Amino acid sequence: MRVLGIETSCDETGAAVVDDEGRVYSDVVASQFELHGPYGGVVPEIASRAHLERIGPVVARAVEEGGGLEAIDAVAVTQGPGLVGALLVGLSFGKALAWGRGLPFVGVDHLVAHLFAPFLQRKGLEKQAPELPFIALLASGGHTAIYEVWGIERIDLLGQTRDDAAGEAFDKAAKLLGLGYPGGPVIDRLAAQGDPLRFELPRPMMASLDFSFSGLKSALARHVEAHGVPEGKELCDLCASFQEAVVEVLVEKAIRACRLRRMRRLVLVGGVAANRGLRALAKRRAEALGIELFVPPPVSCTDNGAMVAYAGALLLKAGKSSGWDVAPYPRAPGTRRGKIRALALGGPKKSTLGGEGG
Ligand code: KG4
Ligand code: ZN
């Protein structure tokens, strides 16, 4: 079964053709960095309009490279969480296409799509897929959470951010330092030349599997207020110190989740999983503890249509298609909360599969 996947939840217009084994036939992504850069973050109205302009050409190219319309057996589209206006563009386009061709249609949760990205098999890239179940750290611009993943139909949430997502923290830090948008890749590059021990920054909420990055952002803001925006080596040192603080918290909690669940497979997904500091620290810690680490290539970590197509294929195989009334949602709806919350943290709390990142 070949599925056309469409992704428009934020600032990437993505379309791809993937089969139910995860083989990627085409994967086209049009980013909008240049449009949002001047604002230091994604502007929803600009994002929706750009998706509208790009969705046609992006899907046309993905279909053509994926074997043509005749080869497509189903359509999967990101339903949420994300920017509602942006989601509507992909959903409407995908529904119309599926309706016109008489194909099955399925709405896909963006976070679930990220979680299954390691199973994508891209030409020329080695596939490194874990066996189920596994622990996953999902760290992106809108979400930061830890899950225990048993399959497409059972995903338990173990912890999530209470304020900013990790990628958002990178983006806000970069804005403070005048480094442009998106901030993650720039800080990653500067941090590689810096000394992470130079500045002392907080590691918040270490006793929990939940995350909080707003205190770290404030600490950086206070530093900049007191000393100004540094330049040269000092800027690299500040980026390295900031990155180290984010990365240490992410890795420490992901490893703790593995321990608590006695799980020896850890997956890193989401845009922040492209971070070299995160990859390096996770590798060191996992190796030392005999945990197998799986990190998809950066092209599968950041938003793309291929992960949506594959998650859609899994859902359809499990007999789950959507009706034509399917509508976008900005935040993840409530799903199951893992027992670990009760075990480790003293009682269940309201929560969702996708977290409350929006
Ligand atoms: O998964 P993604 O493409 O979109 C969302 O679903 O949010 O993640 C985008 C986020 C941005 O915040 C970006 O700054 C961050 O991922 N990011 C990085 C790196 N590459 C992208 N953060 C740290 N280091 C990177 N190399
Ligand atoms: Zn994403």
Count of Cβ atoms closer than 10 Å to residue 253 Cβ: 21
Residue among 71, 73, 116, 107 at smallest CA distance from 88: 107
Confidence (pLDDT) at 14 = 98
Domain boundaries, the chain: 2-125+303-317, 134-296
Q: Name the β-bridge partners of 139.
A: 144
From ligand 1's centre to the CA of 40, what distance in Å?
14
Helices 214-227, 232-260: crossing angle, 10 deg rounding: 160
Phi, psi of 5 (to 5 degrees): -110, 140
Residue among 267, 308, 264 at smallest CA distance from 91: 308
From ligand 2's centre to the CA of 212, what distance in Å?
19
Q: Which ligand sits closest to the CA of 166?
A: 1
- Residue nearest (by alpha carbon) to ligand 1 atom 3: 302
With a 6 A CB cut-off, is 185 part of the ligand 1 pocket? yes
pLDDT 10s per residue in the chain (358 long)?
A: 999 999 999 999 999 999 999 999 999 999 998 898 888 788 999 999 999 999 999 999 999 999 999 999 999 999 999 999 999 999 999 999 999 999 999 999 999 999 999 999 999 888 789 999 999 999 999 899 999 999 999 999 999 999 999 999 999 999 999 998 889 999 999 999 999 999 999 998 888 999 999 999 999 999 999 999 999 999 999 999 999 999 999 999 999 999 999 999 999 999 999 999 999 999 999 999 999 999 999 999 999 999 999 999 999 999 999 999 999 998 765 433 443 333 333 333 334 443 333 3
Q: Which ligand sits closest to the CA of 247?
A: 1
Burial 12-44 (b: 16+ CB within 10 A, else e): bbbbbbbbbebbbbbbbbbbbeeebeeebebbe
**Ligand 1, closest atom to CA 182?**
14
Q: How is residue 284 written in tokens? A: 């060191």
Q: In the chain, which ranges are E strands?
A: 2-7, 12-19, 24-31, 74-80, 105-109, 134-139, 144-151, 154-160, 265-269, 292-294
Strand pairing class (154-160; 144-151): antiparallel
Helix (H, G, I), strand (E, B) or coil at 27: strand
Confidence (pLDDT) at 3 = 98
From ligand 2's centre to the CA of 280, what distance in Å?
21
Most ligand 1 atoms within 8 A of CB, residue of 110, 112, 140, 244 to mutate: 140
Sort 102 into a burial class: Cβ within 10 Å, 0-12 / 13-18 / 19+.
exposed
With a 6 A CB cut-off, is 118 part of the ligand 1 pocket? no
With a 6 A CB cut-off, is 270 part of the ligand 1 pocket? yes
Q: Name the β-bridge partners of 19.
A: 2
> CATH topology of 2-125+303-317 equal to that of 134-296?
yes
With a 6 A CB cut-off, is 8 part of the ligand 1 pocket? no
CA–CA gap between residue 115 and residue 108 (Å, rounded):
12
Phi, psi of 155 (to 5 degrees): -135, 115
The end-to-end CA distance of the chain, in Å, is: 31
Q: Which ligand sits closest to the CA of 108?
A: 2
Query: Does the domain at residues 134-296 carry the CATH identifier 3.30.420.40?
Result: yes
With a 6 A CB cut-off, is 286 part of the ligand 1 pocket? no
Confidence (pLDDT) at 250 = 98
Confidence (pLDDT) at 331 = 77
Q: What sign has the CA pseudo-torsion 177, 183, 187, 190?
A: negative
Helix (H, G, I), strand (E, B) or coil at 217: helix
Confidence (pLDDT) at 126 = 80
With a 6 A CB cut-off, is 303 part of the ligand 1 pocket? yes
Query: Does the domain at residues 2-125+303-317 carry the CATH identifier 3.30.420.40?
Result: yes
Which runs of consecutive H residues, i.e. helices, occur in 10-123?
33-36, 44-65, 84-101, 110-115
**Ligand 1, closest atom to CA 274?**
26
Q: Which ligand sits closest to the CA of 358?
A: 1
Helices 84-101, 44-65: crossing angle, 10 deg rounding: 30
Helix (H, G, I), strand (E, B) or coil at 33: helix
**Ligand 1, closest atom to CA 270?**
1
CA–CA gap between residue 257 and residue 263 (Å, rounded):
8
Tell me the CA distances in angstroms from 320 to 202, 215, 300, 328, 329, one per residue in order: 44, 41, 24, 17, 18
**Ligand 1, closest atom to CA 166?**
12
The string of DSSP letters for 244-292 reads HHHHHHHHHHHHHHHHHTT--EEEEESGGGG-HHHHHHHHHHHHHHT-E
